[in-house]
Amino acid sequence: MNFTTVFFLLCSVVTNAQLLVQSGLTHRLSVMPGETELVPISLKNGGDEPLLCILTLSDVVSHCDSGYRYLPAGSTDESCAAWMQLEQEGFVLAPGEERVVKVRFAAQAGYARAGARASLLVDSRPVEEEPANQLKLRVRYAIHFHYRNPLISGVVALHAERLEWVGERDFWGLVFQNRGNVDRVVRSHAKLLDGRGKVVYSGESVSARGLMPNQCRTLRFPKPEVPEGVYQLVVVSETDAGERFGVTQEMRWEN
């Protein structure tokens, strides 16, 4: 069975069930092969009725044309799902209750790849079933686990794919694809140079973006206030591991 959504919601406004993941949706680990780390996952029932929560380990892959796909645990060569052990797999949260579930992550001894990944799918539903004539609320979160092997240098191959507009032209974006074999978090700084080489725009990406292998993500930049014309775009990016790379491209700006 394949799942294709990071955050999955089957609609309803007839119930006040609300599960909150308070510990983040991405965890990056770099323990030595053979070593263990405990990862706390904090879940809270933000609604006013009891919730049944079910936790399931899964593999995850990503492609630019299809987004995330969730596969049975152990389906991929880069899976680390077998290294993960859940403290609890199912429980009920009372209204307002918070629970911390620990995930024991034991990196495989002698692991010889640069990275591995898996996901923890968190499903929730009201304990009391809704009447048959009402829509039902189902919420799924996917919490990603990315492992970076400190003994193996990963292949870093981040490619700028295209420029695009975001949010009714309030922002412009540069789409990157991670063609390497390890995940990376990227932040960029962009400049526009006019025909005389003068910098007429300089801006940081609105936020850093994490890219797993084969994934495409858009780094957004504030809209430049410059006259229409042709400019030289220069983007310098840096990963959370300290790698740097640059992109230059001619850009025609139209207001």
Confidence of residue 169 (pLDDT cuts 50, 70, 90): low
Overall average pLDDT of the 194-201 stretch: 94
Name the domain boundary from 148, 166, 189.
148
Closest CA to 181 of 149, 147, 213: 213
Q: Which pLDDT score is estimated for 253?
A: 81
72: tokens are 């049975």
Considering the domain architecture, whether residues 75 and 131 belong to the same structural domain is answered as yes
pLDDT in tens, 77-104: 999 999 999 999 999 999 999 999 999 9
Considering the domain architecture, whether residues 174 and 121 belong to the same structural domain is answered as no
Examine the pLDDT at 29 and tell me if it is beyond 70: yes
Into how many domains does the chain fold? 2
Name the domain boundary from 113, 129, 148.
148
The answer to whether residue 222 is domain-embedded is yes
Q: Which pLDDT score is estimated for 137?
A: 56
Q: Average pLDDT over the chain, rounded to whole?
A: 88
Which amino acid is present at 230?
Answer: V
3-state secondary structure string across the chain: CCECCCEEEECCCCCCCCEEECCCCEEEECCCCCCEEEEEEEEEECCCCCEEEEEEEEEEEEECCCEEEEEECCCCCCECHHHEEECCCEEEECCCCEEEEEEEEECCCCCCCCEEEEEEEEEEEECCCCCCCCCCCEEEEEEEEEEECCCCCCCCCEEEEEEEEECCCCEEEEEEEECCCCCEEEEEEEEEECCCCCEEEEEECCCCEEECCCCEEEEEEECCCCCCEEEEEEEEEEECCCCEEEEEEEEEECC
175: domain CATH number is: 2.60.40.10
Considering the domain architecture, whether residues 123 and 79 belong to the same structural domain is answered as yes
The answer to whether residue 33 is domain-embedded is yes
Confidence of residue 165 (pLDDT cuts 50, 70, 90): confident
For the beta carbon of residue 8, count every other beta carbon within 10 angstroms.
15
Do 154 and 161 contact (CB within 8 A), yes or no?
no
The answer to whether residue 226 is domain-embedded is yes
Examine the pLDDT at 172 and tell me if it is beyond 80: yes
Considering the domain architecture, whether residues 18 and 134 belong to the same structural domain is answered as yes
Examine the pLDDT at 34 and tell me if it is beyond 70: yes
Confidence of residue 17 (pLDDT cuts 50, 70, 90): low
pLDDT in tens, 239-252: 999 999 999 988 88
Considering the domain architecture, whether residues 19 and 75 belong to the same structural domain is answered as yes
pLDDT in tens, 119-131: 999 999 998 765 5
Q: What domain range is 175 assigned to?
A: 158-253
Question: What residues does 70 pair with on adjacent strands?
Answer: 3, 60
Confidence of residue 139 (pLDDT cuts 50, 70, 90): confident
Do 170 and 43 contact (CB within 8 A), yes or no?
no
The answer to whether residue 1 is domain-embedded is no
Do 187 and 165 contact (CB within 8 A), yes or no?
no
Q: Which pLDDT score is estimated for 254?
A: 78
Give this prediction's pTM. 0.84
Considering the domain architecture, whether residues 237 and 173 belong to the same structural domain is answered as yes
Considering the domain architecture, whether residues 199 and 123 belong to the same structural domain is answered as no
Name the domain boundary from 95, 116, 148.
148
Considering the domain architecture, whether residues 141 and 172 belong to the same structural domain is answered as no
The answer to whether residue 122 is domain-embedded is yes
